[in-house]
Chain A
């Protein structure tokens, strides 16, 4: 039995290829769906919080207050959706999601300014959307801060000080992503996320389908080693998903300017390891379930949310509690994303991410081994059952 396990891999591979070819729709989906999704999401999604619907309540209606309101209107961060002179309606507008922030300027605004007092201004945020809420607060504080600075300068000028310039000049340098476009950040994450979900769900069916159809019985009776079955099922999907992944990469480059700044060879290596890891996860699910229904549900539920949340795609892992950070070690997409971002955005070399590749390889190997072990356990259980009670 140990003699030539790899000899058996061939027939399994060929069969799997043939079955794949006959199901055109599935084939098309496996190859093109990731690229299609990237296309859609790449264009639709970004983090740049802009056009926050804002209401301006100006109880003062002086030049100063209008000036301040204009500052908010002028930026692309806020869209002034309502100008009110009293704050009564703000509640309703917030509840109906017509506005998500409100600037409330009191009656005494210009008075206070002239008298050299600090006027009290209120900024209301719809906290339900915590993400944009935080950012909105930041923008508002920023705008008001520069308004403060200018007002102070003007006041000083009135008192006779001339030619004042702010003592500090801040030079901001942004590395790797000068325009701070979230696309550069998002697209690699999207790639990893989309690929992972499609990969795992594709292979989740492969073994369990045979169990449901009864052909598994036939395979068990043959001398085919479990390892050969697993590998034979894996290889066609690896090849298929390589094609798919390249399509995704190509699209990312052509449409979103996400080019491979570093070594393509390293990228290929990282990609292959990632693909194997993802497919292996699907195979494991296939090995431990009995019905396609459960396999599908399990694969979706273990990839969609966990990958989305824990891979570092959207939420920085740094911020998570330690216990959760440990869990992220089980997410292949996490390792791939680090390597991907390093190669694509930073053009970094192997030293920056070799650890990730090691982890990917370890994940893949462990998962595959587990799949084989699970199949063996099932075989033994099946043999025992058959011995005990033939009907």
Chain B
């Protein structure tokens, strides 16, 4: 067995003129929860699909579970589980029928399917709804069912593409409990998400933007080391107006709206505070609060993107 569950080297995917994934490289250790963060269209799904053997890479290599995805995609499929972004189980089948079907397709013997069936139902909280048509389930349950079907055959590596999209917060937390459980059992989990708060649950993260990895590391490291300059939170009901007025100021490094507050990156805390209050006063805006905050991952992300846009690609940051 390789040291890492997943090893990716300069993986690239082009669709005609459009480069969806640009020379991405990373490693994932066994039993790690690895997160891919990025906006929609950043290339997360494309990476996952290549790692699952669903798409052929244009160039570069990747090894999953010891097998090369370019040469032995079918061998890769035997050791992985996959949950796609768009719900892809059979809506006109019942819960039990879906489970049995995928069990059969993975070649599990009947007894195993029977025991796994009970386990998946418990995991997904679907006891009592075995005979419901999948179509009638709410999104949260559907996702849990999809996860269950993805790990029926107890794979060593699981790929989850936006598993919590459209799911309520309670279900989301439950989902992450499941993922943690998997990790404890030494199952490697690669998750993509655009919920930056979920990234906090991962051991290791990569930020993807426009097909490239723009930052990476554990959440703590990212937050502490990526953003060197202070971030000030400006709380005001007129956040949009404030944004408009501050955005083009030369001393503002970056700025973005967070709910009813503004996060503003400045070179120096005290000086920054003064300039902000002064500029906003000219618009007649008096903020309730201007505090320095510990940057969240979202701040990190936006910082990185703006950095990209300004000075060009950074390349990847190692853990």
Contact, chains A and B (beta carbon distance below 8 A): yes
Residues of A within 8 A of B (CB): 391
A218 to chain B, nearest CB (A): 16
Q: Say whether chain B's binding surface is mostly helix, strand, loop, or mixed.
A: loop
Tell me which residues across on chain A come within 8 A of B136, comparing CB atoms: 391
A385 to chain B, nearest CB (A): 10
3 residue pairs from A and B, CB less than 8 Å apart = A391-B136, A391-B137, A391-B138
Which residue on chain B has the smallest CB distance to residue A389?
A: B136
Residues of B within 8 A of A (CB): 136-138
Q: How far is the CA of A21 from the CA of B137 in the complex (A)?
A: 36
Which residue on chain A has the smallest CB distance to residue B137?
A: A391
A305 to chain B, nearest CB (A): 29
Q: How far is the CA of A391 from the CA of B139 in the complex (A)?
A: 10
Which residue on chain B has the smallest CB distance to residue A390?
A: B138
Tell me which residues across on chain B come within 8 A of A391, comparing CB atoms: 136-138
Q: How far is the CA of A391 from the CA of B136 in the complex (A)?
A: 7
Q: How far is the CA of A391 from the CA of B138 in the complex (A)?
A: 6
Q: How far is the CA of A391 from the CA of B141 in the complex (A)?
A: 11
B130 to chain A, nearest CB (A): 15
Q: How far is the CA of A391 from the CA of B134 in the complex (A)?
A: 11
Q: How far is the CA of A391 from the CA of B132 in the complex (A)?
A: 11
Which 3 pairs between the two chains have the least Cβ-Cβ distance? A391-B136, A391-B138, A391-B137
Q: How far is the CA of A391 from the CA of B140 in the complex (A)?
A: 11
Which residue on chain A has the smallest CB distance to residue B92?
A: A291
B166 to chain A, nearest CB (A): 13
Q: How far is the CA of A2 from the CA of B136 in the complex (A)?
A: 35
Tell me which residues across on chain A come within 8 A of B137, comparing CB atoms: 391
Q: How far is the CA of A110 from the CA of B136 in the complex (A)?
A: 87
Which residue on chain B has the smallest CB distance to residue A291?
A: B92
Which residue on chain A has the smallest CB distance to residue B129?
A: A391
Which residue on chain B has the smallest CB distance to residue A391?
A: B136
B98 to chain A, nearest CB (A): 16
A79 to chain B, nearest CB (A): 57
Q: How far is the CA of A301 from the CA of B137 in the complex (A)?
A: 35
A24 to chain B, nearest CB (A): 15
Q: How far is the CA of A102 from the CA of B138 in the complex (A)?
A: 74
B314 to chain A, nearest CB (A): 37
A360 to chain B, nearest CB (A): 39
Which residue on chain A has the smallest CB distance to residue B135?
A: A391
A115 to chain B, nearest CB (A): 82
Tell me which residues across on chain A come within 8 A of B138, comparing CB atoms: 391
Q: How far is the CA of A391 from the CA of B128 in the complex (A)?
A: 14
Q: How far is the CA of A172 from the CA of B189 in the complex (A)?
A: 89
Which residue on chain A has the smallest CB distance to residue B138?
A: A391
Q: How far is the CA of A391 from the CA of B126 in the complex (A)?
A: 13
